[in-house]
Structure 1
């Protein structure tokens, strides 16, 4: 039984890591926009869930901020992609749902959501910083540079919430 629990925990750890895309050295505009779009939609769908399920008012407000900010960013991203003649696949622009563990978290929702937002925003900042410094398309690079302060602010906010919940 003990071995079974250990394997289950290791499996969950591997699943959690696999769900957080790691910064990719690919500096093509299309690749960056696909990754950024998926991240935006993940933030929006998880934020909507936080608006419904969070118990802590700060977590709920952060989720609402994610819906608004990342929804606005997604619209800018789609406009930019269209202006650059970059067609994004449907899988990167719709139908992204929150993690199933988050949907079924119950009383642990706030803790799981905040943990996911901290690691997710760290990763997103890395992705945007990478493209902002090494990207090849000047307009997409400017977009990444423009969005970095907002993403860093999100990271700062969620890290502060995380400290309060500990």
Structure 2
């Protein structure tokens, strides 16, 4: 009976842990570049939505910054991947569709700011992880180079989120 209770408690602990988003611990270069590329493309797509649908001028401005900064980061990432002879799958290099949750949100600005806050928090963790434990020195240096801008995005969107409450 004790063994059964222990197994039930243990499975509950695993289930609870699985539901909590964790930074991706995979430090392989290809995996990091795939994740970083998808994140760039998502930020660009959401930024484009903000420019079109945002009502708050600061939301529109932040959206433009996402398009510019993450668009530039994506170009750097693709050049870096090519220089390292790493092929990225098509799903990681294009075809990111606008987020339907943002498209149909009753208050686009709030939904956008919340999504950017959560997304950048996770992105900073992913870049910090690879910047510390990454295996490829060039990609690791790029991750470290990107961190200040990503952290600035996070601070900016957190301030915007606070302002909008």
TM-score range, shorter chain: 0.7 to 0.9
TM-score by length of 2: 0.86
- Counterpart in 2 of 1:48? 48
Report deviation, 1:156. 0.5
* Aligned positions of 1:106-125 closer than 5 A: 106=106, 108-125=107-124
- Counterpart in 2 of 1:13? none
Report deviation, 1:23. 1.6
- Counterpart in 2 of 1:84? 84
Distance in 1 separating the partners of 2:131 and 2:66: 22
- Counterpart in 2 of 1:130? 129
- Counterpart in 2 of 1:66? 66
Report deviation, 1:105. 1.7
1:103-141 CA-partner distances (Å, limit 9, x unpaired):
1124x0000000000000000000000000000000000
* Aligned positions of 1:9-20 closer than 5 A: none
- Counterpart in 2 of 1:163? 162
Q: Secondary structure at the match of 2:24?
A: coil
Larger radius of gyration: 2
CA contact (8 A) 1:45 1:97 kept: yes
Distance in 1 separating the partners of 2:63 and 2:22: 23
Report deviation, 1:22. 4.2
Distance in 2 separating the partners of 1:127 and 1:98: 22
Task: Figure out how many residues of one structure are paired with residues of the other and give that number.
Answer: 147
- Which residues of structure 1 form unaligned runs of 5+? 1-17
Distance in 1 separating the partners of 2:27 and 2:79: 19
Distance in 1 separating the partners of 2:22 and 2:111: 19
CA contact (8 A) 1:105 1:112 kept: yes
Q: Report the aligned-residue RMSD.
A: 1.4
CA contact (8 A) 1:46 1:97 kept: no
Runs of 4+ in 1 over 4 A off after TM superposition: none
CA contact (8 A) 1:43 1:67 kept: yes
When residues 71 and 22 of structure 1 are mapped into structure 2, their CA distance, relative to the original with a 3 A threshold, is farther
TM-score by length of 1: 0.86
